[in-house]
């Protein structure tokens, strides 16, 4: 009886080992190679958009305050309201805008951002202008500004920029007309952009302002190079142009080569690449519950990866870090999946991280790697597959590797000393549909 029992136990163990081995063999294996000596861009900031002054009576909200406290962005973008629909234009033209409550709120907000939260670099963008300055005021989009009204626009801009500088202690570093290539609201052709910048150069210089223009600030990846190329055709405005900047909307289904074109153009012009609206679906707000969903978080992780890896973005700004395309509930008690995806970027791929070249053998296992200023190496691996995979990482050597994983059922799982390198290889198992950051000690 005891002999038969022992035989059964041994048989069960053997069958268990066979079953386990077959599962391991059945799992897909992916090769990821890291090349620490091949350097890409160095990250300047993971930041966010704070544009509530455009949509509400206050530039500040509690979600914005919380993201500033938690993430401490070095770079932010704010929206400057210059169209006040219930006001007569004579009450808002020129320095009269400084009496508008929303403008006052914005000035107070950027002062707090600088003094309380350490924001270093400010971008101010304008979405729309009074009808009196528009060629066809009946239009809601693709609104073209009258060339003879450029000085009136600059009257308002200069008044705001000087007020920010002289009374609130904030020098605005960069300015743009939001998505002016496509004309979501305002539309500036490359020729009109050049003409406006030429006037602004004179006005800004006379006022003692150092504010530069973002180059392009386009609505989507595709078309950015063409729009920026035409602006760069006039060398007389080059000194007034800052980084090449674009938004990542409508870019989920374009090839990686489109992002690479942006990076290549920027290198040819000796300019960094910025994305000042990081997102993937500009109409996501129309879908109920979208921002709370895992689908939104995973898709956001993928577009963030492509911007880092292929467009070689140095500054990225999530749309938004306020109550608009929000990453958390308004009572601050519930963090959405996109919040945790953002944490992977803010915590591990932020300021000073030197991005290095990496390759994956599988297009659904996304890899981007970097080295912190203190020498700590990090590797982000996103498994877009619906099955687990084993990844063979080659290029880093480590005695201890920690891993942070985000999946639908567990948005933030920290594991210490999960594996180590052996003969130059590190093997790690990724869960299905997961975002993973490896901290290589």
Angle between helices 150-168 and 101-117 (to 10 degrees): 40
Residue 354, pLDDT > 80, answer: yes
Residue 269, pLDDT > 60, answer: yes
Q: Label residue 315 left, alpha or beta by phi (over 0 means left) and psi (-120 to 50 means alpha).
A: beta
Distances (CA, A) of 243 to 72, 220, 259, 316, 342: 22, 16, 16, 12, 23
Q: What is the 3-state secondary structure (H, E, C) of the chain?
A: CHHHHHHHHHHHHHHHHHHHHHHHHHCEEEEEEEEEEEEEEECCEEEEEECHHHCCCCCCCHHHHHHHHHHCCCEEEEECCCCCCCCCHHHCCHHHHHHCHHHHHHHHHHHHHHHHHCCCEEEEEECCCCHHHECCCCCCCCECECHHHHHHHHHHHHHHHHHHHHHHCCCCCEEEECCCCCCCCECCCHHHHHHHHHHHHHHHHHHCCCCEEEEEEEEECCCHHHHHHHHCCCHHHHHHEEEEEEEEECCCCCCHHHHHHHHHHHHHCCCCEEEEEECCCCCHHHCCCHHHCHHHHHHHHHHHHHHHHCCCEEEEEECCCCCCCCCECCCCCCECHHHHHHHHHHHHCCCCCEEEEEEECCCCEEEEEEECCCCCEEEEEEECCCCCEEEEEECCCCCCEEEEEEECCEEEEEEEEEECCECCEEEEEECCCEEEEEEEC
Give the model's confidence band at 13: pLDDT under 50 very low, under 70 low, under 90 confident, else very high. Answer: very low
Give the model's confidence band at 86: pLDDT under 50 very low, under 70 low, under 90 confident, else very high. Answer: confident
Residue 374, pLDDT > 80, answer: yes
Tell me yes or no: is domain 44-351 CATH 3.20.20.80. Answer: yes
Q: Taking residues 304-320, what's their average pLDDT?
A: 98
pLDDT tens for 377-429 read 999 999 999 999 999 999 999 999 999 999 999 999 999 999 999 988 999 99
CB 149 within 8 A of CB 76: no
pLDDT tens for 104-161 read 999 999 999 999 999 999 999 999 999 999 999 999 999 999 999 999 999 999 999 9
pLDDT at 6: 53
Give the model's confidence band at 326: pLDDT under 50 very low, under 70 low, under 90 confident, else very high. Answer: very high
> Taking the CB of residue 57, how many other CB atoms lie within 10 A of it?
9
Residues 6+ apart with CB under 8 A from 410: none
Q: Alpha-carbon distance 270 to 129, whole Å? A: 32
For residue 50, what are the β-bridge partners? 78
For residue 39, what are the β-bridge partners? 356
Residue 2, pLDDT > 70, answer: no
> Taking the CB of residue 370, how many other CB atoms lie within 10 A of it?
26
CB 165 within 8 A of CB 172: yes
pLDDT at 416: 97
Nearest alpha-carbon partner for 181 in 133, 214, 148, 136 = 214
Domain positions in the chain? 25-39+357-440, 44-351
Residue 351, pLDDT > 80, answer: yes
Residue 22, pLDDT > 50, answer: no
Q: Alpha-carbon distance 72 to 84, whole Å? A: 31
Mean pLDDT of the chain: 94
Nearest alpha-carbon partner for 312 in 343, 357, 346, 366 = 357
Superfamily of 25-39+357-440 according to CATH:
Golgi alpha-mannosidase II (2.60.40.1180)
CA geometry: angle at 202 spanning 197 and 205, to 5°? Answer: 110
pLDDT at 369: 98
Residue 18, pLDDT > 50, answer: no
Give the model's confidence band at 27: pLDDT under 50 very low, under 70 low, under 90 confident, else very high. Answer: confident
pLDDT at 10: 52
Tell me the percentage of the chain whose pLDDT exceeds 90: 92
Residue 9, pLDDT > 90, answer: no
CB 384 within 8 A of CB 43: no
CB 341 within 8 A of CB 327: no
For residue 47, what are the β-bridge partners? 317
Tell which wins on pLDDT, 16 or 250: 250
Give the model's confidence band at 8: pLDDT under 50 very low, under 70 low, under 90 confident, else very high. Answer: low
Q: Alpha-carbon distance 300 to 268, whole Å? A: 29
Q: Alpha-carbon distance 381 to 292, whole Å? A: 23
Beta strands across the sheet bearing 410-419: 410-419, 401-407, 434-440, 377-383, 365-371, 354-360, 28-42, 389-394, 425-430
Whole-prediction pTM: 0.93
pLDDT at 28: 87
pLDDT tens for 40-54 read 999 999 999 999 999
Q: Alpha-carbon distance 73 to 122, whole Å? A: 11
């Amino acid at each position: 009886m005891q002999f038969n029992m022992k035989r059964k136990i041994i048989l069960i163990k053997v069958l268990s080992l066979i079953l386990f081995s077959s599962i391991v063999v059945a799992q897909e294996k992916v090769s990821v190679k890291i090349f620490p000596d091949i350097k890409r861009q160095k990250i300047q900031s993971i930041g966010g958009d704070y544009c509530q002054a455009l949509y509400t009576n206050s530039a500040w909200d509690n979600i914005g305050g919380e993201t500033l406290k938690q993430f401490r962005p070095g770079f932010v973008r704010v929206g400057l309201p210059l169209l006040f629909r219930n006001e007569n234009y004579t009450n808002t033209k020129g320095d009269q805008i400084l009496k508008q409550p929303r403008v006052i709120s914005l000035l107070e907000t950027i002062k707090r951002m600088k003094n309380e939260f350490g924001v270093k670099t400010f971008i101010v963008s304008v979405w729309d202008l009074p009808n009196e300055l528009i060629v066809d005021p009946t239009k809601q989009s693709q609104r073209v500004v009258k060339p003879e009204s450029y000085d009136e626009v600059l009257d308002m801009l200069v008044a705001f920029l000087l007020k920010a500088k002289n009374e609130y202690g904030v020098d605005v570093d960069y300015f743009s007309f939001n998505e002016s290539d496509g004309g979501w609201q305002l539309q500036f052709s490359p020729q009109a952009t050049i003409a406006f910048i030429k006037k602004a150069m004179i006005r800004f210089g006379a006022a003692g302002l150092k504010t530069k223009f973002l180059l392009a600030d386009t609505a989507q990846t595709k078309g950015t190079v063409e729009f920026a190329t035409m602006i760069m055709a006039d060398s007389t405005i080059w000194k007034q142009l800052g980084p090449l900047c674009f938004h990542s909307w409508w870019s989920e289904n374009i090839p990686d080569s489109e992002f690479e074109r942006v990076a290549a153009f920027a290198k040819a012009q000796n300019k960094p690449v910025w994305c000042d609206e990081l997102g993937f679906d500009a109409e996501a707000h129309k879908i109920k519950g979208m921002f709370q969903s895992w689908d939104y978080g995973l898709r956001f992780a993928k577009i963030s990866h492509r911007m880092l890896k292929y467009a070689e973005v140095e500054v990225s700004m999530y749309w938004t870090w306020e109550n608009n395309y929000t990453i958390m509930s308004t009572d601050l008690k519930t963090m959405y999946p996109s919040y945790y995806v953002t944490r992977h970027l803010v915590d591990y791929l932020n300021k000073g991280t030197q991005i290095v070249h990496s390759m994956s053998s599988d297009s659904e296992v996304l890899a981007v790697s970097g080295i912190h200023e203190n020498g700590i190496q990090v590797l982000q691996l996103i498994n877009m597959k619906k099955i687990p995979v084993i990844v063979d990482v080659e290029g880093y050597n480590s005695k201890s590797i920690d891993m942070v994983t985000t999946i639908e059922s567990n948005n933030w799982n920290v594991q210490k000393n999960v594996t180590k390198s052996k003969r130059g290889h590190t093997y790690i198992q990724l869960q299905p549909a997961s975002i993973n950051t490896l901290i290589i000690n």
